Amino acid sequence: MAFKLGSNRGNKDKKLNFNGTSDNMVSGVRVEFADLPEGTMGECHREGVIYISNDIEKDSEDYNRVLQHEMKHMTHFKLGRVDYDDETLTFDGVTYPRKDGYILYEGEWYEEGDVDLPWEFKD
């Protein structure tokens, strides 16, 4: 398959659908709405599920932005760059302790999702 810059084909309405198999599938990943902690817009789980806050309207600009962000994390899971359990997060082969929503990185505890963590994205 070829990719050409400037092509008029593709996602003209800017909705992220990626040929999912149902209304809650995007590119083979299940996407569900859920009650998430205050301030959390989305979560990606290694089991292949992305949760988006119930406070976000489907197909809105925020929905698309959160989905794009969480899909980057899903790609990291699928490539084996990141993994986690209840007590640790491993990124590029280095394991970091996790506790109560925080991750110990370079001697400092960061809140999960902090953009200063190397596996997070500044988008």
Domain coordinates in residue numbering, the chain: 16-79, 82-123
Residue-level pLDDT at 24: 81
What 3-state DSSP class applies to 114? coil
SS3 90: strand
Per-residue pLDDT, 123: 67
Tokens 């994390």 -> residue: 73
pTM: 0.74
What is the pLDDT tens value at each position of the chain, 123 positions in all?
Answer: 453 444 444 444 444 444 444 468 787 889 999 999 888 999 999 889 999 999 999 989 999 999 999 999 999 999 999 999 999 999 999 999 999 999 999 999 999 999 999 999 876
The beta strands (E) that lie in the chain are given as 25-26, 29-34, 42-45, 49-53, 82-84, 88-91, 94-99, 102-105, 108-111
Query: Can you tell me the distance from the alpha carbon of 79 to that of 73, in angstroms, rounded to the nearest whole number?
Result: 10
Predicted local distance difference test score (pLDDT) of residue 19: 43
pLDDT of res. 23: 62
Q: How many CB atoms lie within 10 A of CB 99?
A: 11
